[in-house]
């Protein structure tokens, strides 16, 4: 199956505010939120020009703004960008936003080379684009200044290829447009090929709530039963592996 940007955009347009609650209902466990925040607090300085790509409704845009960054907010979903604006406004932080733009991580041509001190890509855009991940990483690198920082968090495939097949089988049963997750080794090769220096890497295996995860993908009835039976970690929760990378350009 091929990456289809229109499908991803309309999925997230329809997903709406449910993206905001992923850290509250166990779809992504609470400690993971803390790890995301720690990374921003450690690597963002006041006045930094930051691109938040795949920003969604703004959980981390808000933190970037609080840290004093000048934030460019980008997402493939116009619906998520509207929610992002509402959240930042409600927090009284909209004045920290330089610009908000619809953009696919595969094509950041609207920004010049080296436009940002820091580029943040949290929550999975790299997982959606599969064989195009090479282009995505090259774009993240291009828009980040020399000596700047790229902070990435994504779900990764297990090292064991059979376990990776199992995860992909489950994900596909849940959402037929899923293709495959990339393993750590593939991501690292991409980083190296782009001349990036890995500064830190953090890794977590998490148990995520299964019911809301299936529900949100519209997976019901027999399909839901089939997906639940394939869940790595069993019916009581889906076990997923997340990885955070901080890279110096």
- Residue numbers at the binding site for ligand SAM (CB under 6 A): 8, 12, 19, 53-56, 59-60, 75-77, 80, 104-105, 122-125, 128-129
Nearer to ligand SAM, 12 or 170 (CB): 12
Query: Min. distance of Cβ 175 from ligand SAM in angstroms?
Result: 13
Give the span between the Cα atoms of 220 and 197, in whole angstroms: 44
Question: Whose Cβ is closer to ligand SAM: residue 77's or residue 243's?
Answer: 77
Closest to ligand SAM by CB, 75 vs 117, is 75
Find the shortest distance in angstroms from Cβ 111 to ligand SAM: 13
Whole-number minimum distance, CB 191 to ligand SAM, in Å?
18
**The three-state (H, E, C) secondary structure of the chain, written as one string:** CCCCHHHHHHHHHHHHHHHHHHHCCCCCCHHHHHHHHHHHHHHCCCCCEEEEECCCCCHHHHHHHHCCCEEEEEECCHHHHHHHHHHHHHCCCHHHEEEEEECECCECCCCCCCCEEEEEEECCHHHHHHHHHHHHHHHHHHHEEEEEEEEEEEEEECCCHHHHHHHHHHHHHHCCCCCCCCEHHHHHHHHHHCCCEEEEEEEEEEEECHHHHHHHCCCCHHHHHHHHHHCCCCCCCEEEEEEEEEEEC
Supply the minimum distance, in Å, between the C-beta of residue 221 and ligand SAM.
25
Q: Closer to ligand SAM at the Cβ: 37 or 230? A: 37
Beta carbon of residue 38, minimum distance to ligand SAM (angstroms, whole number): 14
CB closer to ligand SAM out of 26 and 123: 123
Instruction: Give min distance, CB of 143 to ligand SAM, in A.
Output: 13
Cβ distance to ligand SAM smaller for residue 75 or 171: 75
């Amino acid at each position: 199956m091929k990456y289809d940007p229109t499908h991803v955009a309309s999925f997230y347009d329809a997903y709406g505010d449910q993206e905001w609650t992923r850290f509250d209902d166990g779809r992504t466990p609470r400690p993971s939120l803390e790890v995301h925040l720690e990374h921003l607090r450690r690597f963002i300085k006041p006045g930094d020009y930051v691109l938040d790509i795949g920003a969604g409704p703004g959980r981390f845009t808000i933190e970037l703004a609080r840290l004093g960054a000048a934030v460019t907010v980008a997402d493939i979903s116009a619906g998520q960008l509207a929610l992002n604006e509402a959240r930042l406004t409600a927090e009284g932080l909209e004045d920290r936003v330089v610009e908000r733009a619809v953009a696919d991580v595969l094509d950041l041509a609207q920004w010049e080379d080296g436009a940002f001190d820091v580029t943040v890509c949290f929550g999975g855009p790299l997982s959606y684009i599969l064989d195009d991940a090479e282009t995505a990483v090259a774009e993240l690198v291009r828009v980040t200044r020399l000596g700047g920082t790229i902070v990435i968090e994504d779900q990764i495939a297990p090292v064991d290829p059979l376990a990776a097949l199992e995860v992909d089988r489950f994900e596909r049963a849940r959402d037929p447009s899923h293709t495959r997750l990339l393993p750590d080794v593939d991501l690292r090769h991409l980083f190296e090929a782009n001349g990036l220096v890995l500064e830190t890497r953090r890794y977590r295996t998490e148990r995520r709530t299964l019911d809301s995860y299936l529900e949100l993908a519209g997976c019901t009835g027999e399909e839901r039963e089939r997906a639940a039976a394939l869940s790595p970690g069993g019916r009581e929760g889906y076990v997923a592996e997340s990885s955070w990378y901080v890279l110096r350009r």
